[in-house]
Structures are given as structure tokens and as C-alpha cells.
Amino acid sequence: YYSSVLHFDYKNNKMRLYYEKETDLELWLDWLENNSHSELLHAQKLFHSKKIQWNMTKDQYQNNIEKIKYYLKEGDIYQVNFAQRFCVHGSIDDFISLLPSVTQEPHGAYLNFPDNHILSFSMERFIKISGDEILTQPIKGTVAKGCSKAQDDQNKKWLENSYKNAAEHVMIVDLERNDLSQVCQVGSINVPVLKRLYTFSTLHHLVSTVQGRLLKYVSFIDVLRAVFPGGSITGAPKLAAQQIIEELEPVCRGLYTGSIGFIDSTGFVDFNIAIRTLIHRNGFHYYSVGGGIVYDSTWEEEYEETLVKSQIILEYLGKGHRSL
């Protein structure tokens, strides 16, 4: 619980202070007189060439996708989100230098714990609760931004007309509707935005909005039990997809595809899905990327998608992905 918050608005070059007590105000004013946040605004990217290690080879990735497609053929699942992770040596100073870039993403976050430092470049909202209204905004469907306007327009048109991506997306929207139905009033769930293309820093995504009105006396914990983890980063059916993730992914996900957010004193809730999330621990940076696998998926395209999603971080790391 934070009794005061200092908010840097980099986009509009403003600073706001939210506080409960006059003593909080005095402490912040003293701090501001003696400290400058300019290093956060103008931090240089300190990463140099470092060897990036993935937690599976291309062959291992291909074999795992084939196993997933076997489960799909058997009817055990309809879709599963499968991820791989890379790690690279790096210092905490390197890590902090990326902090200004987090502000470019709509659901970015920075958390500083004794044993972990976390930067989330997430663009996906998990849940937002205001009064009795709740919404989730799943992302499913990805294409890179083009190098030219013509190529960019072509990429966007391809994504908007992709049957495979549309099928993946609708599966997850249905899953989220079912999850919300456990805590929402009958007949209140609707999808005001379906499969709309949104553009972010390096990627185009398909995004939907699923919303409803909460039942009386439903708590935030009740909501979490019903909807966590998000369907876009597990699959459908959710439990079966999680079991396959546990079986095939070589390391536990940890924070990746969990959620980061806040609850304020009025009960307002806003949480992201912790994708595009870089974790610093014991002198290493860890970063995971995944994608939805359906029966029409090819391992080559899915592997390439994980690299596209890694692009912004790999560029910051200064070397790009290594060939396997």
C-alpha cells in the first residue's frame, strides 16, 4: 500500500503527486529539491554485445509444436499458448537504462524487489474494474510493422484478413466470456469491440473488449479465481492448455503471463498481462515470448513470431537474436 505516489508523465512532460498526508508532501518536496529525474528521461542504452541463450533449440521448438498438434488432433485442446525464453548476462544499470522505454506501452510497469527487478512492456490489459463494471481486453493475432508505409499497410491487411488469426482470436474471446460469466450478472456480458487492429511500438495486434456487470458482493479475489490466468496466454480449454504448457515448456514461467497492476482506495482495479516482460535476477536478464498454437499453425511461422515479439528487447540488448 502506497500512501503517496509521484507520477512522471513523460508524454506531456509533467509531474503529479498524489498524497494523503501533509508529511508525505513535505518529504516529496524535499526529495525533489535534492534529486533530478533527468537521468530517467535521457538514459542511454548501455547494453553492449552479449551472448543471448534461448532455453530450447529450433529442433526442440519444432518437436514441441508437433506434440501440441498431436494434442490438437486428439481433441484434448483447441489452442495453447507456447513460449520460449532467452537469458543474457547484464547489470542492473543496464536494466534501469531501459526504464523510459516502458512509458511507451499502455500497460507498462516497473517493479523493484530485493531479489528481482521487473520491466514490463505489456500492451495487454487483463482486467479493469470500475464500480460494478468489469472488462478484459485479450490480444491474439500479431504481425510486425512494415519498413515502409506500403509494406505496413500490406501487413495490416494480411492480419485483418487472416482466417487462422481470426479463429485463434474468437476462441479466446469465447473463453473470456465464459470466465466472466462466473462473476457477472446474467445477460450483462457483451463484446463491444471484436478483433480490432491496434498498432503498438513494433507490432500490430488484434484486440477485443469483453465486458460485463459484476454480481453484488463479488470481491476482487472472486474475480481472480474466475478469470486468472488470462486465456490469451494459456489457451482453450484453459486447464488442459496449462497442463500442456507445464509438460512442454522447459522452465517455469514465473511472473511471465501473470499480472501486474493496482487497486486504489476507491476499489478501482487495473491489471495487465505480464507479456513483453524483462526480469533481472542474479546478474541475468530473462525474457519470454510465446504465441497461440492451433492445428493450422506451422512451427516455422510460430518460431518467427516469437522473434518478432522479441525484436524491441533484442534491439535494446544490442545484438539481435543468435542463429541456432
Catalytic amino acids?
124, 140
- CA angle, residues 215, 216, 218, in degrees to nearest 5: 75
Listing DSSP states for 153-219 in one string gives HHHHHHHHT-HHHHHHHHHHHHHHHHHHHTTB-TT--EEEEEEEEEE-SSEEEEEEEEEEEBPTT--
Q: How far apart are CA 2 and CA 248, in angstroms?
A: 39
Q: How far apart are CA 81 and CA 117, in angstroms?
A: 25
DSSP state of 322: P
Q: How far apart are CA 55 and CA 46, in angstroms?
A: 24
Q: How far apart are CA 257 and CA 290, in angstroms?
A: 10
**Beta pairing class for 79-89 and 53-54:** antiparallel
Q: Is the distance from CB of 312 to CB of 293 less than 8 angstroms?
A: no
Sign of CA dihedral 19, 21, 22, 23: negative
Residues in the chain: 324
Q: How far apart are CA 262 and CA 157, in angstroms?
A: 36
Element housing 239 (H / E): helix 238-248
Give 90's contacts (C-beta < 8 A, 6+ positions apart). 47, 50, 280, 283, 284, 285, 317
Give 51's contacts (C-beta < 8 A, 6+ positions apart). 88, 89, 322
